């Protein structure tokens, strides 16, 4: 930990999720912006797990967050800090504020606080603590009562934040009450713990969603009370659904690992999230290195972004076509084994790898890719979809039987197969499609596949002829 002020040290950012659920797509974008900003300025990107909500924080949720960040390749530069391990430090700072007269003990009962809330609601005002113990002698407290510790907040003037995205924002101090920083059971409140942790971790820039903006005014008051220099703040707009409403499950996938399961590439998702609320001219397709070189907060807009799943899917297709064939093959094999109840062997792997350049041209997601490659790993007899079954008429089966010797006589290269198919079609007075489509149905069980010559070459001589025979002899 460091005691240096933000102005005298390299840039340090942090992503600070609460492990009470999944890693939401909005959180992933926040992590990405923090990561890119730190990298762009040669600084450090840190991770803090804010697990002080003991009732809701779970190890499973923490693991999901860590897995999601790993999948997105947003690797922190230091070991994660777990907020729950730092309660003694949070209490130490609260007691220091108490000793300095910048905080005080509050003995207000639950019933009194409930009454304050009820009266505020009846008057149409936001609930606020009325400061009844601010200047009262603690000796007047009931015997055995356990106090909370409240910040002695300024009551006049304004608290102002020069936000790097929102601009100058301010609130009248009269609108803020004396918040609790240490509960009566000795545990810190979230707002207080965050300030202490950010200070001790040397965080220079806090980049987070603009739903935290109201918290920032209160946190700045803690910084000032302790005589610490606050970090620079940047509150980025939230992500909404296409209808402008808060993003939720009804709009589609919202958690990072859901996007992974649905077959999106991490680099495509990061590219999309980068452009969701940040822009640099007409740049659309940006690698990680390009994003690091270009990203800064002056490119972040103030308006809420809208999630466009169609655009993300299109972008994923672009990244898919550029991806390494061996990498895509490994993913397809894993998906086939998990979702299609297949057990692809080394032969199937070689077939998929060979046909991958053609397979990925038509796919938008890894899920699509696995579906289109499944026929390469299926054992005989193949299942046939309705359209394929309709194509395989008795006439078509007879044609395939006469085609088989022609194919067997080729060298089974793409060029050789293409020439043989064209020659057969011409000699029998058929169009090439009248030969290729029944052949495609026999080889794949469907009416769609990569070019038929490449499909034959990938299956190989023995398997192709066996599949044709299975159809023509039935």
Q: 49-58 in b/e burial notation, b at 16+ Cβ within 10 A?
A: bbbbeeeebe
Give the catalytic positions in this structure.
Answer: 249
CB-based contacts of 337: which residues, under 8 Å, 6+ apart?
343, 344
Residue 231 to residue 109: CA distance in whole angstroms: 35
CB 54 within 8 A of CB 60: no
Q: Tokens 């100058």 appear where?
A: 168
Longest dimension (CA), the chain: 108
Q: Provide the CA 447 distance to its chain's centre, in angstroms.
A: 35
Sign of the CA dihedral with 286 first, then 292, 293, and 294 last: positive
Residue 345 to residue 411: CA distance in whole angstroms: 24
Residue 292 to residue 290: CA distance in whole angstroms: 5
Q: Provide the angle, in degrees to the nearest 10, between the axes of the packed helices 87-99 and 213-226.
A: 60
User: What is the separation, in whole angstroms, between the first and last Cα of the chain?
Assistant: 75
Structure tokens at 191: 């707002």
Residue 179 to residue 218: CA distance in whole angstroms: 8
């Amino acid at each position: 930990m460091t005691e240096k002020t933000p102005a005298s040290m390299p840039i340090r950012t942090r992503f600070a999720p609460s492990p009470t659920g999944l890693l939401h797509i909005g959180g992933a974008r926040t992590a990405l912006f923090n990561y890119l900003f730190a990298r762009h300025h040669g600084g450090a990107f840190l991770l803090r797990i804010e697990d002080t909500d003991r009732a809701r924080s779970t190890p499973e949720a923490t693991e999901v967050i860590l897995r999601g960040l790993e999948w997105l390749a947003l690797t922190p530069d230091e070991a994660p800090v777990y907020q729950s391990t730092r309660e003694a430090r949070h209490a130490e700072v609260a007691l220091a504020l108490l000793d300095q007269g910048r905080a005080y003990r509050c003995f207000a009962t639950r019933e009194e606080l409930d009454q304050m809330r009820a009266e505020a609601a009846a008057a149409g005002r936001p609930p606020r603590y009325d400061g009844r113990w601010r200047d009262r002698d603690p000796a007047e407290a009931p015997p055995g009562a356990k106090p909370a510790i409240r910040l002695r907040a300024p009551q006049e003037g304004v608290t102002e934040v020069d936000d790097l995205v929102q601009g100058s924002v301010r609130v009248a101090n009269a609108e803020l009450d004396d918040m609790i920083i240490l509960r009566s059971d000795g545990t810190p409140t979230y707002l207080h713990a965050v300030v202490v942790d950010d200070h001790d971790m040397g965080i220079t820039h806090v980049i987070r969603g603009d739903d935290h903006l109201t918290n920032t005014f209160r946190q700045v008051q803690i910084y000032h009370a302790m005589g610490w220099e606050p970090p620079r703040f940047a509150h980025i707009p939230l992500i909404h659904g296409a209808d402008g409403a808060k993003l939720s499950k009804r709009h589609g996938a919202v958690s990072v690992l859901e996007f992974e399961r649905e077959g999106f590439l991490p680099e495509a998702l990061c590219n999309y999230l980068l452009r969701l609320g940040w822009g640099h001219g007409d740049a659309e397709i940006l690698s990680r290195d390009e994003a690091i070189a270009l990203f800064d907060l002056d490119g972040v807009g103030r308006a809420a972004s809208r999630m466009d799943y169609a655009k993300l899917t299109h972008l994923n297709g672009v990244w898919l076509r550029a991806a390494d064939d061996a990498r895509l093959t490994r993913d397809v094999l894993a998906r086939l084994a998990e979702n299609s109840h297949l057990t692809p062997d080394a032969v199937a792997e070689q077939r998929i790898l060979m046909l991958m350049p053609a397979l990925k041209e038509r796919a938008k997601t890894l899920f699509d890719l696995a579906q289109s490659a499944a026929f390469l790993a299926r054992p005989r007899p193949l299942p046939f979809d309705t359209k394929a079954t309709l194509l395989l008429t008795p006439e078509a089966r007879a044609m395939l039987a006469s085609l088989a010797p022609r194919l067997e006589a080729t060298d089974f290269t793409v060029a050789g197969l293409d020439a043989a198919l064209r020659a057969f079609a011409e000699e029998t007075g058929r169009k090439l499609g009248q030969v290729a489509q029944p052949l495609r149905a026999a080889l794949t069980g469907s009416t769609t596949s990569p070019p038929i010559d490449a499909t034959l070459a990938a299956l190989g001589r023995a398997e192709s002829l066996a599949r044709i025979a299975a159809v023509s002899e039935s």
